[in-house]
Amino acid sequence: ASRPSPEPTRTTCGYCGVGCSLDVVTAGGKVTAVLPARDGPVNQGHACVKGRFAHGYLTSPERLTRPLLRRDGRLEPVGWDEALAQVARGLRAAVDAGGPDAVAAISSARATNEENYLVQKFMRVVIGTNNVDNCSRLCHSPSAAGLTASLGLPGGTDTFDDVEKADCLLVVGANPVEAHPVVGARLLGRVLHGAKLVVADPRAVGLALHADVHLRPRPGTNVALFHGLAHVLLAEGLADEEFLRERVVGLPELTELLADYPPQRVADITGVPAADLVAAARLYGRARRPAILYGLGVTEHLHGTDGVRSLTNLAILRGAVGTDRGYGVNPLRGQNNVQGASDMGALPDFLPGYGRVSDPAARSRAEAVWGVPVPGRPGLRIPAMFAAARAGDLRALWVIGEDVCATDPDANRVARALDACPLVVCNELFLSETARHADVVLPVASWLEKDGSFVNFDRRFQRVRPAVSPPGAARSDFDVVHAVAAVMGVDLGCATPADALAECGRVAPVFAGLSHDRLDRESAVPWPCPDPGRPGEATLYAKRFATPDGRAHLAATPYLPPGEQPDDDYPLVLVTGRRWAHYNSGSMTRRGGNLELDPVDFLDLHPDDATRYDVRDGAHVTVESRHGRACLIARVGEQTATGQVFCSFHFPTSGVNRLTSDHADTVTSCPEYKVTAVRVASS
């Protein structure tokens, strides 16, 4: 009989961006329990149903244990040598035929920081292209762009610990009770201890039940809503005039713009009653320490970056960022390491630490460490990679941990792009929707099987440690990238994950104070952290903003409508999002006990719409958009407003992302998942 291992393995949860510390108990090489760490820096003894129980996938018979190679149209098991040789040959052929920019890679939050660092180094050093992007393109790229433009850095402004001091919470476009349960519980705790709560979300999400004011804007009208709140702050003298005078630019332009957003006009655009808008603005405006937390309901829009910036305006107007008079503006990251994937430079326009590839000084820092020239032209973003593949310009695509055929919008077109690309390589745990379109599938380790670090939603680096070994011949993404480079005749250096983080610190001064040894000693260290002898900056901008002039920049961007509007043919608006027991495409959480907790996907719709479209609760329905069709089970209830329907993207077979459009944020190309015009009929 196998004996339990004497000490559990301390690691960081690989699901949402909260970054809970977990103690993993094993016996006989298998995980037997996952316990929330009592001394976890973020979770303090708590964890949710995903982190605690969704580890059955580790031993699923569907785990990939050998590389697969497509021959005569079928994927067949082969050895690593053959698979790696095929990848190397295919990448070389793509470069020979179309130059380095004919190759692209999509990295992800499934990969550790060190793996993301190595992937982007491989693309820049071995291939010679900036065609590398990650899954933040699809979720919080507008946060990075918006927060950088307004405040200077692409991360949240405060440590989550400080939310305990907030006396008013403005939670926008987020459902933390389900998507970030440990955060949701702490926010609820604040409310039970007297903090005011304003929820802005079209749906009656869990926190809305406890809200002092629940604003339910029509999907796609956030910018008008935020301008309406800002209008009231200025009109009622609730702005911090001294802060605005000393630390802010852009007030005259914003004031002029806000004249067009009085409460009644905003009510007409958003559907939010003017009185509710005024009440919410007063709660936020009169609080001693107001806090803003937001999610993908702000970013995943045609004007997502404008949404982030106009929301940030509120904190700037109140002097609630960069001071002790507020908890700033903080994005709730949906995925464990989506912050880290970007921090490590898996981006087409940024090197590790956010030096622009177009900036010669940033390039020469990287070149001094890597010993090769770095291309100065920004690479392709994920949607542009697919377009290039369909056009025949992209000849090789390496997808690392993303199930793009399940999670990217307009999935039918994504599949066509993969089919048009001469070489598609997938690093995967399972034969995912995307892997089914690949030419080579490489079996890799999951978060419970590998070594490295993640960055959570409040910029904290924490260690990831292997509790068990990967099955069969599966290897870490870190080893796989090294191995492909070696077959192509390049030694990427940084032999271990610890070496990779150390090297990243030499490329990116903002991470120079970090090391695995330090993370082992201190548990969690936030960035910026340029000095190994000093703490990282948990709270940003106390002295100056990180913009070139050191000031916060108000944004005067007008409200513009979403990419799609309901009409006679497609009268409902589909909003997609997450549910409590599952994570993203569900490939891990659907393989184990969590499937029993949440076994099927539903299309939520309001009773009035159920009557109008003759749909019964529990009936099979066909949902159609201008882009595709999906089949779901109707769930009738009042959580979803009339005129809207809601569905998760955890069950790819239901095909919800065949419905979503390719409308995308005009600044960052983040898809507009939150507004798709659809029609519904009983099947």
Give contact residues for ligand SF4 (rule: CB under 6 A): 13, 15-16, 18-20, 43, 47-48, 50-51, 180-182
Residue 374 and residue 381 in contact, taking contact as beta carbons nearer than 8 Å: no
Residue type, 503: E
Residue type, 95: V
- The distance of closest approach from Cβ of residue 334 to ligand SF4 in the complex, given in angstroms and rounded to an integer, is 9
Beta bridge partners of 427: 400, 442
φ/ψ (deg, to 5) at 480:
-65, -45
Cα separation of 230 and 266, whole Å? 11
Q: Which residue is at the shortest CB distance from ligand SF4?
A: 51
- The distance of closest approach from Cβ of residue 183 to ligand SF4 in the complex, given in angstroms and rounded to an integer, is 7
Cβ atoms within 10 A of the Cβ of 634, count? Answer: 23
313 or 584, CB closer to ligand SF4?
A: 584
Cα separation of 383 and 613, whole Å? 34
160 or 545, CB closer to ligand SF4?
A: 160
- The distance of closest approach from Cβ of residue 472 to ligand SF4 in the complex, given in angstroms and rounded to an integer, is 26
12 or 130, CB closer to ligand SF4?
A: 12
43 or 339, CB closer to ligand SF4?
A: 43
What are the tokens at 416?
């066509």
- The distance of closest approach from Cβ of residue 670 to ligand SF4 in the complex, given in angstroms and rounded to an integer, is 22
Cα separation of 432 and 438, whole Å? 10
- The distance of closest approach from Cβ of residue 611 to ligand SF4 in the complex, given in angstroms and rounded to an integer, is 37
- The distance of closest approach from Cβ of residue 340 to ligand SF4 in the complex, given in angstroms and rounded to an integer, is 14
Structure-derived torsion over alpha carbons of residues 193, 199, 204, 208, reported in degrees to the nearest 10: 10
12 or 310, CB closer to ligand SF4?
A: 12
What are the tokens at 370?
């890597």
Question: Residue 4: which residues within 8 A CB-CB, separation 6 or more?
Answer: 25, 26, 27, 32
- The distance of closest approach from Cβ of residue 41 to ligand SF4 in the complex, given in angstroms and rounded to an integer, is 12
* DSSP code string of 621-662: EEEEESS-EEEEEEEE-TTSPTTEEEEESS-GGG-GGGTS--
Cα separation of 109 and 18, whole Å? 13
- The distance of closest approach from Cβ of residue 431 to ligand SF4 in the complex, given in angstroms and rounded to an integer, is 24
318 or 578, CB closer to ligand SF4?
A: 578
185 or 490, CB closer to ligand SF4?
A: 185
Cα separation of 217 and 272, whole Å? 6
54 or 411, CB closer to ligand SF4?
A: 54
Q: Which residue has the tokens 């000095």?
A: 531
- The distance of closest approach from Cβ of residue 358 to ligand SF4 in the complex, given in angstroms and rounded to an integer, is 35
List alpha helices for 222-323, DSSP H: 222-235, 241-247, 251-258, 263-270, 274-286, 296-299, 304-317
21 or 557, CB closer to ligand SF4?
A: 21
- The distance of closest approach from Cβ of residue 594 to ligand SF4 in the complex, given in angstroms and rounded to an integer, is 11
Report the relative pairing of strands 572-577 and 629-636 from DSSP bridges.
Answer: unpaired
* DSSP code string of 362-423: HHHHHHHHHSS----S----HHHHHHHHHTT---EEEEES--HHHHSSSHHHHHHHHHHSSE
Cα separation of 290 and 444, whole Å? 43
- The distance of closest approach from Cβ of residue 54 to ligand SF4 in the complex, given in angstroms and rounded to an integer, is 8
Return the SS3 of 266. helix
43 or 557, CB closer to ligand SF4?
A: 43
13 or 127, CB closer to ligand SF4?
A: 13
